[in-house]
Structure formats: structure tokens, C-alpha cells
Amino acid sequence: MAKCLVLYETSEGQTAKIADEIAATLRGLGHGVRQVRSSEDPRLADYDAVILGSPIHMGKHDPKLVEWARAHAAELGAVHSAFFSVSLAQASKDPEERAEAHRMAEGFVEEIGWRPDLIACFAGSIAYSQYGFVKKVVMRRIARKEGGGTDVSRDYEYTNWDEVRSFARHVMEALPAG
């Protein structure tokens, strides 16, 4: 079966959880998987498929992943690849908010100069337990506006795990025969 790399960055851990689920799905399909943060700087030529993932915070993808992807854009273009972006905008009831999440993901790959085979956007989480006072207030205000969880004594997860597993399967279904 194929050798796959899942490379990601994470802030509060939701992108890491999504990367875990992608890796578990790929392993369940019989593929070899290595899951790493961008600081490990793996050699892309060693893999049949590469999946990158990044959270969006304050309208921007993780700067470490942006820097890594820029430095490896040519290599990314030479391998079967996919990108996933994680944001609360994807959990919004407002279609324009969800469309903006997709525009940000498309903007990421355009900025890098890379064209992955697949792009997906997943809803993230509100991790009140990891926020400082100011961020809790801001996130609670956003959650209230969207009809989300506002009890700051707990965290809220909005990720659709079936969509995550489906994305992982689609990445491998699109893998060129060879």
C-alpha cells in the first residue's frame, strides 16, 4: 500500500486531533502513515501522498506551516498532495462564513504557489480551557452570535468526523496508480 505523510501545525490541539483521525483512517485502509509537525522537516520524496493541515486564527493559517510550505512548494507540486484547513467559520450557520473559510484555504495554496489534489475545510473547536481571559471573552461573544457554546467552564467541538474520514479516503482514491 501507499506511504503517506500527514504534516500539520496546531494551536489548541484540534488540528492535531483531525490529523490523528486522518492518519487512523489511512492506517485502517492499510497504508503506512507518518504524522509530524512541520519542524521535523521530512523528505517528501519518501512518500506517495502528502497531506498538510493548518488551523486558521485571526484570518491566517499557522505561520510555521506557511513558511514550511513555501520552502517546499516545488516538492509539494511533485507529489500527490492534499490540504485541510481548520476554522470555526466552517461551523457557522451563515453560508458566507463557510464560503470565506474555503476562500482562505484556496488563498493559502495560491500564496504558496502549490496546487494540491484535494482541499478540505473542517470545523474546529472552542477550547475555552486553553484561553486566557481576553480570548475567552472574544470567543464567547463569537459563539453567542453563532448560537454556539458559551459556557466557558467547558470546551466545544464542532468537527464533523465523518467528513474527516471521507476526506482521508478521497485522498487515497485520487492517488495515481503506479
Write out pLDDT tens, residues 63-78. 999 999 999 999 999 9
Across the chain, mean pLDDT equals: 93
Cβ contact 37:68 at 8 Å: no
CATH 3.40.50.360 fits 3-124+159-173, yes or no: yes
Query: Length of the chain in residues, anyone?
Result: 178
Q: Which residues contact 79 (CB under 8 A, 6 or more apart)?
A: 44, 45, 47, 48, 49, 50
What pLDDT does residue 1 have?
87
Q: What is the pLDDT of residue 178?
A: 57
Residues of the chain with pLDDT under 50: none
Taking alpha carbons only, the member of 116, 120, 139 closest to residue 58 is 139
CATH 3.40.50.360-classified regions of the chain: 3-124+159-173
pLDDT at position 114, please?
A: 93
- What pLDDT does residue 57 have? 86
pLDDT at 176: 74
- What is the pLDDT, as a whole number, of residue 93? 87
36-to-5, 13, 23, 93 alpha-carbon distances in Å? 8, 13, 11, 32
